[in-house]
Amino acid sequence: MYRIAAIQMNSGAVVSENLQRAQKLIKESAAAGAQIIALPENFALMPRDEADRMRVAETMGGGPIQSFLAAQAKESGVWLIAGTIPLKAGQKSKFFASCLMFQPDGTLCGRYDKIHLFDVEISEVEAYTESDFFEPGSTAESNLVCVQTPMAAIGLTICYDVRFPELFRKLSAKGATLLSVPSAFTATTGLAHWETLLRARAIENLAYVVAPAQCGVHQSGRETYGHSMIIEPWGKILNQLTDEPEGFVLADIDPEKVHATRQRFPSLQHRRV
């Protein structure tokens, strides 16, 4: 058995303030026994405008946010799934939304660049175009990331990816037993689809799902859904938060449950297309 934590935040436009709160929540969840800790999408910055993101974007391998993450993983002795940070891409005006993962000695052990960008019109007054400032991650095998740990094989995804089950299927084919979905789901789409999509990805792949999320109203006026949760392979929600408070949820994970469930109910082996 091992314990996992999903951290929920209401991040703003000041990186130092966000990191201070993230540090507190990481330390508290580690003290509660979490060995794997997952931060939400945009944990270090929920920008008011494009200029905010331009100021804090980092080059892979160096920068204050990456240094912070490495230090937190090492100080708390945990596997840290670091939501997303903006990393500079080939085009100077664009970035990758990258999920970095650090092992307990502070070493980077995984990087996934978000493949599916959130370009949608939810209503006449609510629309998002992530492709204005992000580059989509590669669909090459090298960007389909499954990190091997002593406790679980962790498949990395980000937010809008949850609507594309083929990505999760590829990760389960690579051996993933825990699927990570750090998110900043809107309040509108979260109310309609968040729980349904996450439970479906767990059920389809007979895997655990950890989904840390942003919550509440942010400085840009955007409202996110919260409801960070951890789900077991049969689709049962083990623990979750509500829409408003920052904090974290914990769950004890049994690696043998994935194996046993897949043996009794071998749907992954029954695929024909």
**Annotated active-site positions, please?**
41, 114, 159
Sheet holding 247-253, edge to edge: 108-113, 95-102, 79-88, 36-39, 2-8, 247-253
CB atoms inside a 10 Å sphere around CB 94: 17
Burial of 105 by CB count in 10 Å (0-12 exposed, 13-18 middle, 19+ buried)? exposed
What separation in angstroms does the CA of 134 have from each of 7, 108, 129, 146, 186? Answer: 24, 22, 9, 23, 18
Whether residue 4 contacts residue 230, with contact meaning beta carbons closer than 8 Å, is answered with yes
CA 18 to chain CA centroid, Å, is: 16
